[in-house]
Structure 1
Amino acid sequence: MRSVQVTGPGTTGFVEIEKPVAGPADVLVQIRACGICGSDGLYISVGGIPPRQGATPLGHEPAGEVVEVGAEVEGFTVGDHVVLNPMASSDGIIGSGGAQGGLSEFVLIRGAVAGTHLVTVPKHIPFAVLALNEPMAVAGHAVNRTAPKSGDKVVVFGAGPVGLGAAIAYQLRGAHVVVVDIVPNRLEKALKVGAHAVINSAEEDVAARLREIHGTAPRSFVRGERPDTDIYLDAAGAPVVLETILAAAKHGATVGVVAVHKKPVPVDFGSLLTTELTVVLSMGYPTEIFEVTRDIIDHWERYELLISDRIPYAEAQRALELGSTPGAAEKVVVTFP
């Protein structure tokens, strides 16, 4: 079978490898769609992930169809549509340094347990939408870390896939959601997926607009008028975002960071002391990988709006290049025959 792998620093290629066969406790999945993540570009640029340097199978956002089921496996039949938990694979994280990648024609789930390694999903949902399950789990964990309540006022910075996924999750939990970005078409998409309002930070004063939308926080020992926003989520990763948040946050607000900051961001904790902010960081999805699947099943048409490009597997290298180029695309999904 074919597998897209990192073949050296800055290079990828289709590699012919042996097709796996399911043992008594295993499930073999034929991959039907796999999303492209910005981290794929990082893996390519550095030549793979040790200990698989130079031979890293790519793709950690897969969805597919069950084609073989071991005799000891319960809960699956041939033909089931499934989403996978890349982090639960016994031979390493799928597509992120493990022995297998979702940009391969088949993935073998060893010791397959329903609800741990993979779950079945309704067959009417497009595989490309199901391939959003992993990044939406990342977004779901970020939302969980900020502990929203119904009625909370939330602002999400960054209208990429994770930011928009978080916006959907906040809205489904009853929060009032504002999305901030500098790209007009991304802001339009934010409104389509359920954001109540958007702010173009290249053209508008974010704090002033938040005061208009969320109101002004009650007076406290924090200086200046502050928006009455309860939760701020950084899904953008630009230093100016944290600067904007910390300058605007009211007393007792929660600040979540799910974005990857590639450079240190200086913070003046002396000036922040009176705000008594709660700051939480978010990475991965300890419990959310299949929790978010329920939301995708119930609202798949809304999640489908996140996909900007569907590219056939034969052009997977073009998909990787597109998905790794900032601003070139929003969410790229590779589709298999």
Structure 2
Amino acid sequence: MKSVLVTGPGRVDVVEVPKPSPGPRDVLVRMRACGICGSDAYYVTIGGIPPRQGATPLGHEGAGEVVEVGAEVTGFAPGDHVVMNPLAPGSQLLGSGGPMGALSEYLVFRDAEPGRELRIIPRNLPFDLAAINEPMAVARHAVNRTAPQPGDTVAVFGAGPIGLGAVLGYRISGAKHVVVIDVQPARLEKALAIGADAVINSAEEDVAARLTELHGPGATVMGAPRAGTDIYLDAAGAPAVIDTALAAAKANATLGIVAVHKKPVPVDFGALLGVEPTIVTAMGYPQEIFQVTDDIVANQDRFGRIISHRFPFTDVLTALETAATPGAADKVVVTFD
């Protein structure tokens, strides 16, 4: 079968590898779609994932079809459509330094159990949409970490896939009003299309002033004026986001950080004493990987808008290049015939 491997720094190839064989407790899945993550481009840049020796298989945002089950397997049958948990034990760190990557024609899941490595999905859920289950779980975990309450007002910085997924997560969680902040007009338009109540172009508008207009006035513990926003989420990863959010935050506001900051970000904690904010970070999806599946099934049209580009597996190298080019795409999904 064909599999996409990182074969050296800056080099990725489609190579022929042995097709995996399932044992009595294993499930063999034919891949039908795989999303491309920003981490995939990073793995290509650094030449794989140390301490793994040799080529590194790519891809961890997968959806597929069960084609063979071991004699001792229960809960799965050939023909089942499934999404996968790339961090579950039987997935062996799928596409993140383990022996398999979802940009392959087949995957085998060892000692597979329903709801652990794989979850069966309805047949009316398109495979390309199912493939964004993993990044949407990242977004949903970020939402859950900020503990939204019905009626909360929210500001999401960054209208990429994670930020847009968070918008939908806040909507589903009962947020009263969700604002998205970005500098790209096309991304802001997409945010409105999937359900944001308002958008702010931070390159052209005063974010704190605009949030005060949208969410009403708030104040610090000592009464200094601030925006009335309850929750801020950083899904952009720019240092200016932290500065802007904390400068606008009212007393007891929450700041969640799901974006990856590649350099340290200084924070003046002395200035925050009178705000008493809650600052939380979010990584992965301890419980959300299959929780979000139900959200996607129930809101297919809105989640589907997050996908910007689809490429067949025959053009997977072009798909990887497109996804890695700043501004060229938002969410890229590779489909298999």
Please confirm whether the aligned pair reaches a TM-score higher than 0.5, indicating the same fold: yes
1-side partners of 2:248 and 2:54: how far apart?
A: 45
Instruction: Find the residue that maps to 1:279 and give its secondary structure.
Output: strand
Q: Deviations along 1:229-266, whole A, 9 cap, x unmatched?
A: 01000000001111100110001000000000011111
1:123-272 matches, cutoff 5 A: 123-175=123-175, 176-218=177-219, 220-223=221-224, 225-272=225-272
1-side partners of 2:219 and 2:238: how far apart?
A: 29
The match for 1:304 is 304
CA contact (8 A) 1:193 1:305 kept: yes
2-side partners of 1:242 and 1:222: how far apart?
A: 22
Query: Does 209-218 or 132-141 show the bigger shift?
Result: 209-218
Q: Deviations along 1:262-314, whole A, 9 cap, x unmatched?
A: 11111111111111010001111111100000001111111000000001101
CA contact (8 A) 1:89 1:109 kept: no
2-side partners of 1:68 and 1:58: how far apart?
A: 23
CA contact (8 A) 2:221 2:275 kept: no
Q: Give the Å deviation of 1:52.
A: 2.2
Query: Does 109-118 or 214-223 show the bigger shift?
Result: 214-223
Partner AA of 1:217 in structure 2: G
Instruction: Find the residue that maps to 2:255 and give its secondary structure.
Output: strand
Q: Give the Å deviation of 1:37.
A: 0.5
CA contact (8 A) 1:26 1:112 kept: yes
The match for 2:111 is 111
Partner AA of 1:183 in structure 2: Q
Partner AA of 1:181 in structure 2: D
The match for 2:100 is 100
2-side partners of 1:219 and 1:272: how far apart?
A: 9
Partner AA of 1:227 in structure 2: A
CA contact (8 A) 2:32 2:336 kept: yes
In structure 1, stretches of 5+ residues that fail to align are none
Q: Deviations along 1:39-90, whole A, 9 cap, x unmatched?
A: 1011001110023244100001000000001111111111111000000143
The match for 1:86 is 86
CA contact (8 A) 1:47 1:53 kept: no
Instruction: Find the residue that maps to 1:93 and give its secondary structure.
Output: coil
CA contact (8 A) 1:9 1:54 kept: no
The match for 1:43 is 43
2-side partners of 1:196 and 1:186: how far apart?
A: 14
Q: Give the Å deviation of 1:325.
A: 1.7
Q: Give the Å deviation of 1:91.
A: 5.9
Instruction: Find the residue that maps to 2:311 and give its secondary structure.
Output: strand
2-side partners of 1:268 and 1:219: how far apart?
A: 15
Asked if 1:59 is matched to 2:59, the reply is yes
Q: CA RMSD in A?
A: 1.0
Q: CA 1:168/1:214 → structure 2, altered by over 3 Å: closer, same or farther? A: same
Percent of pairs with identical residues: 63
2-side partners of 1:329 and 1:218: how far apart?
A: 39
Q: CA 1:284/1:219 → structure 2, altered by over 3 Å: closer, same or farther? A: closer
In structure 2, stretches of 5+ residues that fail to align are none
1:1-12 matches, cutoff 5 A: 1-12=1-12
Partner AA of 2:240 in structure 1: V
Instruction: Find the residue that maps to 1:115 and give its secondary structure.
Output: coil
Partner AA of 1:185 in structure 2: A
2-side partners of 1:119 and 1:277: how far apart?
A: 37
Instruction: Find the residue that maps to 1:94 and give its secondary structure.
Output: coil
Partner AA of 1:17 in structure 2: V
CA contact (8 A) 2:220 2:274 kept: no
Q: Deviations along 1:183-232, whole A, 9 cap, x unmatched?
A: 11111111111111111111111000000000001564153x21110100
